[in-house]
Structure 1
Amino acid sequence: MKEIIVIRTSDPDGSVFRSILEALQGKDVQILHAADLEPSTLTLGDIEIFPEQRRVTKAGVEICLNYGEFSILYCMARCPGHVFSREQLYNAAWGEDCELGTNTVDNTIWRLRNKLEANPKHPTYIKTVFRVGYKIEIAHG
C-alpha cells in the first residue's frame, strides 16, 4: 500500500525538514517538493504569467488583472487546449458554485480579451467553445 504524506510548515532554518528526513532514514521514501511541481512562469506567446506574484505581462508590459481575471486566466493557461465550462472557471476563481444565469465568467473573459488580445473580437488566445465554455490556445508563429 502506498501512502502519501503532505507536510506544510514554516521552517526558515530547515531543522523541521531535516528531523523528518532523519525519522524516515532507511525507509523507501520518495520526496517531492511542491514548488518543483508548478512551473514558476507560464508563457502564452507574448503573454507571461507569474503565479507566485499573481502578475501578468504582455510583451514585457505589466497588465493589471483583478482577482477573478487572474484566477480564470491562470486556470486555463495551466491546461492549454482543455475546454473549461463556465461553472469550472467560476469555481476556480471564486471557490464556490456558479449561480444559474450569472454571466460573471463571460464578463471576466470579455475583460481579459480586452486587456490581452490584439483584437478582442477575433481572439488569438482565449477561445470560445460554442455551448461548452472557454479554452486557451497557444499562438504559433
Structure 2
Amino acid sequence: MEQIIVIRISDPDGSIFRSIMGALQGKDVQILHAADLDPSALTLGDIQIFPEQRRVTKAGVEIRLNYGEFSILYCMARCPGRVFSREQLYNAAWGEDYELGTNTVDNTIWRLRNKLEPDPKHPIYIKTVFRVGYKIEANKQ
C-alpha cells in the first residue's frame, strides 16, 4: 500500500525533521521538496513557457520575446485567471515602481498578443479586464 505524507512545519534547527527521519529509519522513504515539483514548462493551449531557459514556443516553434515580454507573460501564466494590474505587471517585469500615465505595460501586452495570439484583435489567451488590468485565460485550444 502506497502512502503519501505531507508535512509542513517551521523547523529552524532541523530537530523535528531529524526526529521524523529517525522514526522512518529502515522504511522505504522518498523525500520530495515542493520546490522540486514545479513543472518545467507552463502550458497554455499550444503555447509552452520554459522559465529556466526564458523560452517560449507556440505549436513547437520558438517565439522570441524580449525581457519585459517574457517577464509579464510568465507572471500572468503562473496564476491563470488572476487579474494583474498594470502596476503589478510593471513591477514583475522591471522591479520598479510604475509611473502613472506610462503605457509600457499596454505596449508590451500588444506585442505579446501579436506574437502569441491567433487573432491579436480577438485574443483568447491574454485578456483585458476593463479598468483593472490583464489576465491569462488557461486551457485554450
Q: TM-score range by the shorter chain?
A: 0.7 to 0.9
How far 1:78 moved relative to its partner? 0.6
Q: Which aligned pairs between 1:1-141 and structure 2 lie closer than 5 A?
A: 2-3=9-10, 25-26=18-19, 32-36=33-37, 38-141=38-141
Tell me the C-alpha RMSD between the 2 structures: 2.7
Q: Deviation of residue 27 (structure 1)? A: 5.7
What is the TM-score of this pair, normalised by structure 2?
0.78
Quote the offset at 1:96 in angstroms.
1.4
Counterpart in the other structure of 1:12 = none
Q: What is the alpha-carbon distance in structure 2 between the residues aligned to residue 81 and residue 63 of structure 1? A: 23
* 2:44–2:140 contact (8 Å) kept in structure 1: no
Q: Which has the larger radius of gyration?
A: 2
Q: Which amino acid aligns with 1:26?
A: S
Letter in 2 for 1:105: V
Gapped regions of structure 2 (runs ≥ 5) = 1-8, 22-30
* Residues 127 and 134 in structure 1, CA contact (< 8 A), matched pair in contact too: yes
For the residue of structure 2 that corresponds to 1:57, the secondary structure is: strand
Aligned pair in 2 of structure 1 residues 4, 110: CA closer, same or farther (>3 Å)?
farther
Number of matched pairs:
125
Structure 1 residues 107 and 140: alpha-carbon distance in aligned structure 2, compared to 1, 3 A threshold: closer
Q: Which runs of 5+ in 1 are unaligned?
A: 6-19
Q: Deviations over 1:43-81 (max 9, x none)?
A: 000000000000000000000000100000000001111
TM-score by length of 1: 0.78
- The answer to whether the Cα contact below 8 Å between 2:124 and 2:140 also exists between their aligned partners in 1 is no
The answer as to whether partners of 1:124 and 1:139 remain within 8 angstroms in 2 is no
Which letter does structure 2 place at the counterpart of 1:35?
D
Query: For residue 109 of structure 2, what is the amino acid of its counterpart?
Result: I
| Runs of 4+ residues over 4 Å off in structure 1 | none
